Amino acid sequence: MSVALVWVVSPNTEVFKFYGILDSSRFVFGNRSSIRAKMGGKQDWKSCSLSTDVKYSSVGGSGLGSEAKFPVSLSMVANPLGESAVSSEQKVYDVVLKQASLVKKQLRSNGYLDVKPDIILPGNLSLLSKAYDRCGEVCAEYAKTFYLGTLLMTPERRRAIWAIYVWCRRTDELVDGPNASHITPTALDRWELRLDDLFQGRPFDMLDAALSDTVTKFPVDIQPFKDMIEGMRMDLRKSRYQNFDELYLYCYYVAGTVGLMSVPVMGISPESQATTESVYNAALALGIANQLTNILRDVGEDARRGRIYLPQDELEEAGLSDADIYAGKVTDKWRSFMKDQIKRARMFFDEAEKGVTELSEASRWPVLASLLLYRQILDEIEANDYNNFTRRAYVSKAKKLLALPIAYTKSIIRPSRTSPELRKYNL
């Protein structure tokens, strides 16, 4: 067991001092007396610095040494009252590390991401085949470009991606579909219980059966699925986001989760020297980029439903308010604001693109095609003179076709021979 003395600087520049005990399972904050009451016994007190990194150096004291390091699972910030909090970035980062560890575990045991064979029982092969085919039909109907990209994958990966897509679409439809006005938090709780059953091999219907089969073949974890349901809960109770930290968490819940669900299915190239964490981080970045693009494309549509997903503090800094969005008038202030929002979305797309080359060869082309096509929506917003109030930005069929050979050319680039570090965003 180790002890740390932590100094936390809050936004109002006052310095707050905490003591902490680090054991194998938790990090307990407080003063000396409160920690003794929580932990019991005499403790050996050490001091340490606190930063946003995931490794912390201790300073002085016996047992740890002057340069000893220990992993910590929290990134601490302080509010004006000196209370500690966990940033949205760190919450998501912890999930990324967990998902990456699951894949690394299988890579260590098999040397590659294996696809387990179908469990063939009398009568179930035909039913499963029909379930996957139906998932493919839904994908083809509602996500035509994405569906065409999946046809470039191996049959096993293609079917698994269809199953994941359909579950995500059904989840989203709960709060954005025709029956959204009747959806309650209790309904989402029931949907989460149904997800638990699905992961335990007890699917409720044909479409559930496809995903239930998928999670037995690939190292897909339930956490991103649960997090997506949490995003739906957020949509029920929240229609404004005070800052980008709040919006980032929402984007992770409703879209970044899709990237984490998909990596085990897409597969990582055996030639890749990148860390598993960096590949997951790129997948997360693609999901965040896609959702930010959705938000910027649908400003007018969302406003008509009473929702404004743009960071309130950034609107205020730009001299804008909700009233300006409801008015729907493109002004110089709005153009300047939108330029900054588009710049941030492109940053996430750029980060995502770096990781696509680390995926398995069969998955790179469709993922890159999807990335390039979605990124072009930002170009169309600009072409519309930033009028996302009454004009919907979309990419023409001709531009979509032109993007495919570009995506293919990028996809044949071999994985990196160096191992990039996992990037943490400065939110």
Residue 138 predicted with pLDDT over 60: yes
Question: What mean pLDDT, rounded, does the chain reach?
Answer: 78
* % the chain with pLDDT above 70: 71
How many Cβ atoms sit within 10 Å of the Cβ of residue 171? 21
Q: Copy the structure tokens of residue 204.
A: 């409720």
Task: Print burial letters for 389-421: b (CB count within 10 Å at least 16), e (below 16).
Answer: bebebebeeeebeebbeebeebbeeebbeeebe
Kindly give the pairing relationship between strand 27-30 and strand 15-22: antiparallel
The helix/strand/coil state of 242 is: coil
With tokens 């470039």, the residue in question is: 152
Q: Find, among 154, 176, 167, the residue nearest to 194 by Cα.
A: 167
Q: Copy the structure tokens of residue 278.
A: 């960096």
Q: What pLDDT does 32 receive?
A: 41
Distance separating alpha carbons of residues 348 and 255, to the nearest angstrom: 13
Q: What pLDDT does 417 receive?
A: 57
Task: Classify 59 in phi/psi space as left (phi over 0), alpha (psi -120 to 50) or beta.
Answer: beta
Distance separating alpha carbons of residues 295 and 241, to the nearest angstrom: 12
Residue 82 predicted with pLDDT over 60: no
Residue 13's pLDDT band (boundaries 50, 70, 90)? very low
Residue 77 predicted with pLDDT over 70: no
Q: What pLDDT does 148 receive?
A: 77
The helix/strand/coil state of 69 is: strand
Specify the range with the lowest mean pLDDT, choosing from 30-34, 362-366, 396-400. 30-34
Q: What pLDDT does 92 receive?
A: 81
In this predicted model, which residue has the larger pLDDT, 427 or 49?
A: 427
Distance separating alpha carbons of residues 112 and 107, to the nearest angstrom: 5
In this predicted model, which residue has the larger pLDDT, 101 or 215?
A: 215
What average pLDDT does the segment 229-237 reach? 95
Q: What pLDDT does 80 receive?
A: 36
Q: What pLDDT does 107 receive?
A: 54
What average pLDDT does the segment 263-290 reach? 92
In this predicted model, which residue has the larger pLDDT, 413 or 167?
A: 167
Distance separating alpha carbons of residues 238 and 366, to the nearest angstrom: 34
Angle at 96 between CA 93 and CA 99, to 5 degrees: 155
Residue 252's pLDDT band (boundaries 50, 70, 90)? very high
Edge-to-edge strands of the sheet including 47-48? 47-48, 55-59, 69-71
Structural class in CATH, domain 88-425: mainly alpha
The helix/strand/coil state of 381 is: helix
Q: What pLDDT does 201 receive?
A: 93
What average pLDDT does the segment 65-71 reach? 37
Backbone angles phi, psi at 295, to 5 degrees: -60, -45
Residue 175 predicted with pLDDT over 60: yes
Backbone angles phi, psi at 145, to 5 degrees: -65, -45
Residue 416's pLDDT band (boundaries 50, 70, 90)? low
Q: Find, among 231, 287, 290, 293, the residue nearest to 259 by Cα.
A: 287
Distance separating alpha carbons of residues 135 and 146, to the nearest angstrom: 13
Distance separating alpha carbons of residues 363 and 27, to the nearest angstrom: 40
Distance separating alpha carbons of residues 169 and 178, to the nearest angstrom: 13
Q: How far is CA 300 from the centre of its chain?
A: 25
Residues of the chain within CATH 1.10.600.10 domain(s) are 88-425
The helix/strand/coil state of 308 is: coil
